[in-house]
Structure formats: structure tokens, C-alpha cells
């Protein structure tokens, strides 16, 4: 008989998430895949810092964000990026309070 560790891990994770009070949940909902639920306080505010000048004309500053690593929020610094097409606008990543927890919206070009 073949074992399915990924299925067992998913079941264990969903059982563990069910035991977490709703007001202490973080839901990381990416555009692809199943949302991840973990206990956490609200994300702390972003630090204030000054970005270096752009490397070349036409680059856009993509701000940093707080990433949930399963235990705590980790700061991911901003970076300079070149838009994929003329007129592209960056929609920044954001944590949104919803359903008694925090939902992650990934940053992307529009």
C-alpha cells in the first residue's frame, strides 16, 4: 500500500487550523492554491525608510512588505523593478482584515 504524506500533512494542517480561535488567525490567500491559516497578531506597520535612487530611468519602486513565515512577520525590503509594459501600474501587496483574521493580497502589475 502506498502512503500519501502530502495528504496526511494537509489533513493535519486543517485540523490544527480548526483549533485556532478565529480572532487569532492569519489567512494568506494567494492567487493560486489553498489559503494558509496560522495564529498571529495583526501585522505591524511597515518601517519608514528612504529608497536609493533608481538604477536607470523608467524603474518603479516596489515597496517592501511583511511576510508571515508561520511563526512571525518577516520584513521583505522593497526593490526597483521595470514595468512589464508601458502604462503598467504596481498594485502593492497588502494585509486586509477580514473574517476575523488577516488575508494577504500579493502585489502585482496591472
The whole-number pLDDT of residue 57 equals 95
Q: What is the mean pLDDT of each successive set of 10 residues along the chain, which is 110 residues long?
A: 39 40 45 48 87 94 90 92 96 84 89
The whole-number pLDDT of residue 56 equals 96
- 33 close to 46: Cβ distance less than 8 angstroms: no
- The region, left, alpha or beta by phi > 0 then psi within -120 to 50, assigned to residue 10 is alpha
74-78 long-range CB contacts below 8 Å, 24 or more apart?
75/46, 75/47, 78/51
Closest CA to 38 of 96, 102, 105: 102
User: 81 exposed, middle or buried (CB, 10 Å; 0-12, 13-18, 19+)?
Assistant: middle
The whole-number pLDDT of residue 63 equals 93
The whole-number pLDDT of residue 103 equals 84
Indicate the pTM of the whole model. 0.61
Amino acid at each position: 500500500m502506498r502512503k500519501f504524506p502530502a495528504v496526511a500533512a494537509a489533513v493535519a494542517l486543517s485540523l490544527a487550523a480548526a483549533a485556532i480561535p478565529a480572532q487569532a488567525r492569519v489567512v494568506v490567500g494567494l492567487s493560486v492554491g489553498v489559503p494558509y491559516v496560522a495564529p498571529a497578531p495583526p501585522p505591524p506597520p511597515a518601517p519608514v525608510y528612504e529608497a536609493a535612487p533608481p538604477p536607470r530611468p523608467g524603474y518603479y519602486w516596489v515597496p517592501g512588505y511583511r511576510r508571515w513565515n508561520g511563526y512571525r512577520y518577516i520584513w521583505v525590503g522593497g526593490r526597483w523593478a521595470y514595468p512589464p509594459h508601458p502604462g503598467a501600474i504596481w498594485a502593492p501587496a497588502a494585509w486586509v482584515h477580514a473574517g476575523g483574521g488577516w488575508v494577504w493580497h500579493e502585489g502585482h502589475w496591472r
